[in-house]
């Protein structure tokens, strides 16, 4: 998980008794060799995709030929699953921004000041700051830029 380099594994790599027990069980399901690829996204969620097969060791030539495809697949699967997991986690914490809070954060992300946002939305600057304050509290950040960044990173905006 600390490296984005692939980890190629096989039943021949067992050294300890617990590893041998693990491989004995894996072989009972027909698994003898595999490729594990870790992944990370921009909000720090980590994952690992492993593809395994029953025969034929992975040659160095095959690894080089398939590296780009495996990396792409692991990132694609990770982003899809992370979205589902993150959505479930956000629902659990009841993280909900109102449409107006999202709108204010979108303009903030565009670099607009509170006064400019107020003019665009036809509200007072105090109202804009009210929505920014609520957003910052809900997103657990200390300033409006951090709120906009976190909202984007969480997929809220």
| pLDDT score of 153 | 74
| pLDDT score of 98 | 93
Question: Which range of residues forms the domain containing residue 71?
Answer: 7-82
**Number of structural domains in the chain:** 2
Please report whether residue 89 resides in a domain.
no
What is the C-alpha separation between 125 and 119, in angstroms, rounded? 8
Segment 93-133, tens digit of pLDDT: 557 899 999 999 999 999 999 999 999 999 999 999 999 99
Segment 47-81, tens digit of pLDDT: 888 898 888 888 889 999 999 999 899 989 988 88
Question: Higher confidence at residue 13 or residue 32?
Answer: 32
Query: Of the residues 28, 48, 82, which one is the last residue of a structural domain?
Result: 82
Regarding whether 123 and 62 lie in a shared domain, the answer is no
pTM: 0.50
Separation in Å, CA 19 to CA 10, 27, 72, 131, 138: 11, 12, 29, 55, 45
Please report whether residue 26 resides in a domain.
yes
Please report whether residue 68 resides in a domain.
yes
Regarding whether 78 and 12 lie in a shared domain, the answer is yes
């Amino acid at each position: 998980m600390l490296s984005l380099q692939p980890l190629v594994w096989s039943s021949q790599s067992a050294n300890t008794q617990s590893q041998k027990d693990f491989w004995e069980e894996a072989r009972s399901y027909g698994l003898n060799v595999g490729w594990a690829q870790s992944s990370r996204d921009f909000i720090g969620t980590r994952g690992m995709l492993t593809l395994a097969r029953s025969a034929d060791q992975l040659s160095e030539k095959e690894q080089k030929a398939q590296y780009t495809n495996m990396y792409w697949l692991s990132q694609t699967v990770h982003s899809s699953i992370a979205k589902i997991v993150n959505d479930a986690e956000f629902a659990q914490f009841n993280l909900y921004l109102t449409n107006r809070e999202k709108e204010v954060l979108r303009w903030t992300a565009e670099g607009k000041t509170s006064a400019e946002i107020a003019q665009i939305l036809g509200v007072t600057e105090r109202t804009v700051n009210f929505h920014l304050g609520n957003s910052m509290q809900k997103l657990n950040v200390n300033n409006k830029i951090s709120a906009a960044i976190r909202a984007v990173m969480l997929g809220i905006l």
